[in-house]
């Protein structure tokens, strides 16, 4: 019996937490230079996806929280994740608009969260056993 479920959970938690934090940080840094809107959301989501995936790959290379057949996410999955981060970022922007006036940090955090959730789904799909 393998510890596949626990390793997947650790990888997803790393991606989601780091992605949300990086998205909020990008929103905070860019709040004065970019009008809070589509550009801010896409920048935050893209940065969150890339940094969260790199953080997970770093943990995998250190053998922290990995299962028996866990591997680093290859570059092509990271490219697909960067493309899907656009959808996650725009969804985060729309959610921020629905909840209240979209503050840049809030928009960045939601864009990072939703983008990293999509990246996590891509990672799960990539690591599913092939039959």
Tens digits of residue pLDDT in 40-73: 999 999 999 999 888 888 887 776 655 555 666 6
- The pLDDT value given to residue 67: 56
Instruction: Specify whether the CB–CB gap between 115 and 45 falls below 8 A.
Output: yes
Residue 3 has pLDDT above 50, yes or no: no
Non-local CB neighbours of 3 within 8 Å, separated by 6+ positions: 67, 68
- The pLDDT value given to residue 120: 86
Q: How confident is the model over 80-102, as pLDDT tens digits?
A: 888 999 999 999 989 988 987 77
> Radius of gyration of the chain from Cα atoms?
15
The dihedrals phi and psi of 11, each to the nearest 5 degrees, come to: -60, -45
């Amino acid at each position: 019996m393998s510890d596949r479920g626990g390793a997947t959970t650790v990888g997803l938690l790393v991606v989601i937490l780091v992605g949300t934090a990086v998205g909020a940080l990008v929103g905070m840094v860019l709040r004065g230079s970019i009008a809070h809107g589509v550009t801010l959301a896409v920048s935050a989501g893209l940065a969150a996806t890339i940094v969260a995936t790199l953080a997970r790959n770093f943990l995998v290379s250190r053998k922290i929280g990995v299962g028996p057949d866990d591997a680093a996410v290859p570059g092509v999955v990271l490219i697909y994740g960067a493309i899907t981060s656009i959808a996650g970022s725009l969804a985060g922007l729309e959610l921020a608009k629905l909840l209240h006036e979209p503050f840049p940090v809030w928009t960045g955090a939601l864009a990072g969260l939703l983008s990293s959730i999509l990246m996590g789904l891509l990672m799960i799909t990539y690591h599913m056993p092939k039959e």
